[in-house]
Amino acid sequence: MPEKLKKLIKPLAAAAAAVIVLVIAYFSGSDVSKNDKPEIKASDTAAVTSVTEQTLPVTETASVTTAVTAGKTSSVSTTATSAQTSVSRSKRTTATETKTETVTTPETTMLTTTATGTTTVTEPITTPAVSEKQHSQCRFSISCATVFDNRDKIDAAILAEQPSDGFILAPTNIEVNDGDSVFDILKRVCDGQGIPIEYTKIAATNNYYIEGINNLYEFDAGNLSGWMYSVNGKFPQLSSSQYAVSDGDVIEFVYSCNIGVDVGDDYYTKAG
């Protein structure tokens, strides 16, 4: 072979060899070691998963626990774990995020709610209702109806001051305090309603005698007329200041024109 041809073939062979090396390197590629991958940091509970180049679905789970007591502020802790897809060539990062908020609610039930929409009520907490003290009451009335049956015995001016239906006070529920007597109820009602009342304290006692109510006095309708009272349909032989009132008593002050006979009391007629 001529010397000139040898000199020409030698550089061409070297160039061809270089091209072959490049082609082999290109098709074989170079592996990227795990140490070359960028470090991915999340929270303490982060999980790193290698995936292929595809879009991964996003999943979420959440749990909410609410602990509430009546009329007080409670903390509501919400923990949400979100598997969020972040694809960078071949990597995804899963992180946990915690949020806390404070709410005030009068409800008294502990609830556990899941993201699926199912609500479970566990051990409901109830606050017992505060019951108000039940006050004692009596049914109280003042009647002068008998005077209209004895017009001939009473002055027309006095009769004109009395209500035509005979009730100076229609039956009314009156609150009873501990230790109240019938006299205490009568005086409190008359003072509160603006009904004139006149009474006398009996000497050397704590007893009171009722002389007049609503300007209608004893003896205004004859010598046997005057004020009397009954409790639950019976006429006690006690001063009104001596009779203790009980819850539910029905008390009626009535004006009698015939020593009680015309209002249902025959005590004096029986006594002779």
Please give the model's pTM, rounded to 2 decimal places. 0.52
> What pLDDT is recorded for position 64?
36
> What pLDDT is recorded for position 144?
98
* CA-atom Rg of the chain in angstroms: 52
> What pLDDT is recorded for position 46?
39
Q: How many CA within 13 A on the CB side of residue 31? A: 3
> What pLDDT is recorded for position 3?
60
Q: At the topology level of CATH, where does 136-271 sit?
A: Ferric Hydroxamate Uptake Protein; Chain A, domain 1 (2.170.130)
Residue type, 100: T
In this prediction, the residues of the chain whose per-residue pLDDT falls under 70 are 1-11, 21, 23, 25-134, 272
- The residues of the chain that CATH labels 2.170.130.30 are 136-271
- C-beta separation of 133 from 108 below 8 A: no
Largest distance between two CA atoms of the chain: 179
- HEC states along 68-102? CCCCCEEEEEEEEEEECCCCCCCEEEEEEEEEEEE
